Amino acid sequence: MTNYVIETKSLTKTYEGIVPVYAVRGADVTIEDNEFTAIIGPSGSGKTTLLNMIGGLDRPTSGSVKVNGHELTGKTDSELIDFRLKHIGFVFQSYNLIPVLTAKENTEFIMLLQKIPKAQRDARVEQLLGEVGLADKMDKRPTELSGGQQQRVAVARALASKPDFVLADEPTANLDSASASNLLDIMARLNKEEGITFIFSTHDQRVIDRARRVITLEDGVVVRDERR
Amino acid sequence: MLLRLAYRNIWRNKRRTAITLMSVFFAVILSTLMMSMKEGMYARMMDSMIGAYSGFVQVQSAEYLPDRSLDDALMMSDGIDSSIMSTRHVTGWVPRIESFALAASDETTKGAMVVGIDPVAEKDHTDMAARVSDGAYLEPDDKAVLLGSGLAKKLGLAVGDTIVLIGMGYQGSTATGKYPVKGLVKFGSPELSKQLVILPLKEAQWFFGAEGMCTNIVVLMDNSDRSTKIVSDLSGSLPTGLVAHDWEVLMPDLKHMIETDRKEGYVFMFILYMVISFGIFGTMLMMLAERMHEFGVLVAVGMKRWRLAAVFWLEVVMLALLGSILGMIGALPVVSWFYYFPITFGEGEEFTKMFEEYGMEPVMQSTVDIGVFATQALVVAAITSVIALYPMMRLLRMKAIVAMRS
Ligand SMILES: Nc1ncnc2c1ncn2[C@@H]1O[C@H](COP(=O)(O)OP(=O)(O)OP(=O)(O)O)[C@@H](O)[C@H]1O
Ligand SMILES: [Mg+2]
């Protein structure tokens, strides 16, 4: 039996309203260690909703989500916060960083919440920012960084806690193509060299081309799942 | 890190922070000045009425209050001296015999308070002798009076003139006497100045027909804060039939007035700070709304909501405390100014009349009291902590994805 990093069963999210929106309908998705997977689909197909449920940010209407064997659906809000801190790295579309903290401090923040000792933090921040190519920008605040640089800091921050996997919802949506491809290079290298599992959603064909597995959603249903 | 985060967030919007700081700053100055002026006024009042004359503690016969009748005078005895002098913090005592009488000059007649004092004891323990502004102080065997300068003016008398006193003596006897004015005494309190006729104790006892008697004994102490303790100690040791009272019992009107006035001050302070808190509240809501997205990200990546709320609380309280500390620093020179250069209202001014109606000197002087300053900081800290509860509640209940959408 395979040990899945992520395993969803009949995962469903329905937004109640005058007309209920079936954002995700019975998704069965399994992700293994060391994957580099893109979730694609037209706008409104449920990519964000699915990622949020996998990441313990949103609760499914029904079905289950397991992360490394831990069932998320039964956890309280504050247990989920703790779980996210320990197991999941996040990169959002934009405005990921705390504006009053430097690149170094933003990256360090997660480790601080995990109460990792200072010496260890410093070493790891240096290593991570080096890996994303920002060793010389450690003391810059987000406003002093380009969009691409900010996203790279966000990747460094996501990795700081040594998560089980990194979720990135349209990480390149606000980047020009050079920055986007640079970010993808970094993510791909981290995946290959350090075995970090990435799951990201995207619209961008060039990003899709870099994925090793592509899951396609339409109207909240997984319609295709190709590995290459 | 949390502290650093809070601190940097404060300076994120410099203009707004500056405006908030300024409003707290001026509120603290205003309120500190007001409270310092009020406390200064009370201190002067206490000083001029209690310190200068009645004393913080008196020993009387148990029946003397509330009528203050000469018939309820006490007979002096050795037991009194030993019981008073064996009380801790007591530095001495002076006997007094007081009663109302009519004082007449050639021109006019006025009501007056005739008081017999022991000139030697008073010289040792009170500043009575130093208050003589014209003429000379009394000798124990003098058959002469000192007049309050206000009364002298009302009667048209000067040093060397003669005053006639007519009143009721002990147990209904008639008390009359005719005395030369030996000196004038100045009192800060207009009430005292316009009423007192001072005789040597022996002569006063003779005048009232109350040989060897006193109406009250003023107990002097090293520190007026001890008065309550002294009263309770004395009540155990005084000969039967005698009681000790502190100034709050002796001068209920003064106590009441100070308390009422102080309450008014608190009400004003409360209103002032309410206005300020609305300002801080507004700032706080803006800080919250502006950063909802950021807070969402923080909780998404694993920051506990209570820690976030703590950072926010720190920010608000740091902001308010900074404002109030600046305010206190700003208030110090202002308050000190009015301590060293009190406002004195001149003769005949509207304010002078108002002050005198309350039996007060027409002088406004502030105190420079750590307590008054500290109160401001405490009040500001308390208010802001309380108003910060609302956004904290919101932070404690927030959902990361909802917050991130904003
Ligand atoms: N909070 C919400 N309340 C109601 N409906 C919602 C909510 N969030 C999402 N939806 C709906 O659920 C569906 C899926 O939305 P979702 O954001 O997951 O799509 P997506 O694939 O991420 O789209 P995009 O590519 O535009 O980001 C959409 O129809 C959307 O309108
Ligand atoms: Mg989306």
pLDDT tens-digit profile of A196-210? 999 999 998 989 999
* Residue A218 confidence (pLDDT) above 90: yes
* Residue A21 confidence (pLDDT) above 90: yes
Average model confidence (pLDDT) for chain A? 93
Distance from CA of B314 to the nearest CA of A (A): 16
**Structure-block tokens of residue B143:** 């058959």
Report the domain count for chain B: 2
Query: Would you list the DSSP string of B240-267?
Result: TTEEEEEHHHH-HHHHHHHHHHHHHHHH
- CA nearest ligand 1 atom 22, residue: A48
Average model confidence (pLDDT) for chain B? 87
* Residue A96 confidence (pLDDT) above 60: yes
Question: Which positions in chain A touch B294 (Cβ < 8 Å)?
Answer: 95, 98-99
Q: Kindly give the distance from the C-alpha atom of residue A53 to the centroid of ligand 2, in angstroms, as a whole number.
A: 13
- Domain assignment present for residue B57? The answer is no
Cα dihedral B144, B146, B149, B153, rounded to 10, equals -10
- Domain assignment present for residue B58? The answer is no
Do B397 and B265 lie in one domain? The reply is: yes
Crossing angle, helix B78-85 and helix B227-237, to 10 degrees? Answer: 140
pLDDT tens-digit profile of B370-403? 888 888 888 888 888 888 888 899 999 988 888 8
Domains identified in chain A and CATH numbers: 6-227 (3.40.50.300)
Q: How many CA atoms lie within 13 A of B224 on its CB side?
A: 13
User: What's the rounded Cα separation, in Å, for the pair B92 and B341?
Assistant: 34
Q: Is the CB of B304 inside 8 Å of chain A's CB atoms?
A: yes
Do B45 and B126 lie in one domain? The reply is: no
Do B182 and B103 lie in one domain? The reply is: yes
- CA nearest ligand 1 atom 11, residue: A23
Q: Closest to B294 (Cβ–Cβ): which among A82, A98, A108?
A: A98
* Residue B358 confidence (pLDDT) above 70: no
Provide the b/e sequence for B206-215 (b: ≥16 CB within 10 Å): bbbbbeebbb
- Domain assignment present for residue B379? The answer is yes
Contacts of B168 (CB under 8 A, 6+ apart): B70, B99, B101, B174, B175
* Residue B51 confidence (pLDDT) above 90: no
Determine whether the interchain pair B401/A52 forms a contact, defined as Cβ–Cβ distance below 8 Å.
yes
- Domain assignment present for residue B150? The answer is yes
Average pLDDT over residues A127-139: 93
| A to B CB pairs, distance under 8 Å | 61
pLDDT at B359: 62
The residue type found at A90 is F
- ipTM (interface predicted TM): 0.92
Average pLDDT over residues B10-17: 84
pLDDT at A2: 65
The CA angle B28-B30-B34, to the nearest 5 degrees, is: 115
Which of B211, B240, B269 is at the close of a domain?
Answer: B240
Do B173 and B32 lie in one domain? The reply is: no
- Domain assignment present for residue B55? The answer is no
Q: Which domain holds residue B106?
A: 63-240
* Residue A228 confidence (pLDDT) above 90: no
pLDDT tens-digit profile of B129-162? 888 989 999 999 999 999 999 999 999 999 999 9
H or E element: which one contains B194? none
User: What's the rounded Cα separation, in Å, for the pair B87 and B59?
Assistant: 13
The answer to whether A11 and A63 are in contact (CB under 8 A) is yes
Average pLDDT over residues B208-218: 89
- Domain assignment present for residue B14? The answer is yes
User: What's the rounded Cα separation, in Å, for the pair B79 and B241?
Assistant: 12
Do B262 and B119 lie in one domain? The reply is: no
- At A188, the pLDDT band (50, 70, 90 cuts) reads very high
Query: Would you list the DSSP string of B342-354?
Result: -EEPPTT-HHHHH
Determine whether the interchain pair A113/B303 forms a contact, defined as Cβ–Cβ distance below 8 Å.
yes
Q: Kindly give the distance from the C-alpha atom of residue A139 to the centroid of ligand 2, in angstroms, as a whole number.
A: 31
* Residue B285 confidence (pLDDT) above 90: no
Judged by CB atoms within 8 Å, which residues 284-303 of B form the interface with A? 293-294, 297-303
User: What's the rounded Cα separation, in Å, for the pair A112 and A125?
Assistant: 11
In terms of CA atoms, which chain A residue is nearest residue B7? A100
Do B274 and B317 lie in one domain? The reply is: yes
Which of B240, B269, B299 is at the close of a domain?
Answer: B240
Do B77 and B127 lie in one domain? The reply is: yes
- Domain assignment present for residue B249? The answer is no
Q: What percent of chain B has pLDDT over 90?
A: 25
Do B224 and B356 lie in one domain? The reply is: no
**Sign of the C-alpha dihedral computed for residues B4, B10, B12 and B14 taken in this order:** negative
Mutate to test the interface with A, among B17, B291, B292, B301 (most CBs of A within 10 A): B301
pTM passes above 0.95? no
Question: Within 6 Å (CB) of ligand 1, which residues are found?
Answer: A 15, 21, 23, 41, 43-49
- At B357, the pLDDT band (50, 70, 90 cuts) reads low
